[in-house]
Structure 1
Amino acid sequence: MKIDSSIFQDLVKFYGEAFHLPPLSAKIYAYLIFDFERKGICFDQFVEIFHASKSSVSSNLQHLLTSNLIKDFTPIDSRKRYFVINPNYIKIRFEEIMRKMASEIEILDKLHHFQNSDDENYNEKFEIYKSLLNKNIENIQETLTKF
């Protein structure tokens, strides 16, 4: 498999932050992105590639599986498990973004109700911000239905 180390490092950093992944999980996830043909990478390859202990690789793969970021399969003619990016990763990522925005709207509504401000400027800005969050949720939802 061909890997560009600069892009790999960018992916590790980005997905580590985006999904709050531990460093080895982020590296495994980033590495799997380069498996464009989705043939899968086996456990032993990860141990060899990342020079990590079997237990570290195992726990990080389990974390990625539990998070639904990757899938595993065992070919009929093999005893090894192979790992690939979950084909629904885009949906998972954007559903999480929508969930966070919806949660923020709920909290802001409670705060706004608690504050009960008569300041029209503040109320207008609050409504603009809330509208922006709602529109983003709608846009993401619409896009996901197209997938």
Structure 2
Amino acid sequence: MELSHHKKQLIEDVGVLLEERANLSPLASRIYALLILSCYEGMSFEDVVTSMQASKSSVSSNLNVLLQLHYVDYYTKPGDRKRYFRTSQFYIKNTMEQQVHLIDKELKIVQKVNQFNKEHNPEKFKNEKSLGLLFQEHLEDQRTKINQKIEEINQFEKQA
């Protein structure tokens, strides 16, 4: 399965982002990107190996990680022993839930910093209070908006 130059570049761009955002290995990120950019039927294991130009064991290990994280699913076709991989049906929801998790972690730290400065550096807190609280408010707004979209996805899932 030969990939176009455009698709290879897009897999690389998406892969780099996924490495950062999802804390995935480089190969897992590229495999996930490949599957995001593939048709709904997905790809056979052999096609993934060929496309990634990686060893079978490396691809297998990284696909197993993606399966455990529920980023990808696999299925088989009647009379065909091959496994076909595709992104889980609502992979965008997984990504958004992960963003909320990261925002929650960051929000806890920002709240601790604000509280620490309020107690131990009152002059600094007084002068910078609005900046710390503005950032905290920004994170809370982001979390609220993402959670609203996740709820919309949940409603879509119920209709599907």
Bin for the TM-score computed over the shorter chain: 0.7 to 0.9
Q: With the length of structure 2 as denominator, give the TM-score of the two structures.
A: 0.81
SS in 1 for 2:85: strand
Answer 1 or 2: which has greater helix percent.
Answer: 2
What is the CA distance between 1:48 and its match in structure 2?
2.5
SS in 1 for 2:78: coil
Counterparts of 1:17 and 1:109, CA distance in 2 = 24
Distance 1:108 1:49, change over 3 A: closer
Counterparts of 1:93 and 1:113, CA distance in 2 = 30
The runs of at least 4 consecutive aligned structure 1 residues that moved more than 3 Å come to none
What is the CA distance between 1:57 and its match in structure 2?
1.1
Aligned amino acid, residue 135 of structure 1:
D
Is 1:20 paired with 2:26? no
For 1:35-61, what per-residue CA distance to the aligned partner results, in whole angstroms no more than 9, with x for missing partners? 23x112111222223332221111011
Pairwise CA RMSD: 1.9
Question: Who is 1:69 aligned against?
Answer: 71
| Structure 2 gaps, min length 5 | 154-160
Counterparts of 1:34 and 1:90, CA distance in 2 = 13
Question: Who is 2:82 aligned against?
Answer: 80
Match for residue 105 of structure 1 among 107, 123, 138: 107
8 A Cα contact 2:114 2:133, kept in partner: no
**Count of matched residue pairs:** 146
Counterparts of 2:101 and 2:126, CA distance in 1 = 29
Distance 1:66 1:43, change over 3 A: same
Q: With the length of structure 1 as denominator, give the TM-score of the two structures.
A: 0.87
Mean CA deviation greater in 4-13 or 67-76: 4-13
Mean CA deviation greater in 114-123 or 38-47: 114-123
Identical-residue share of aligned pairs (%): 29
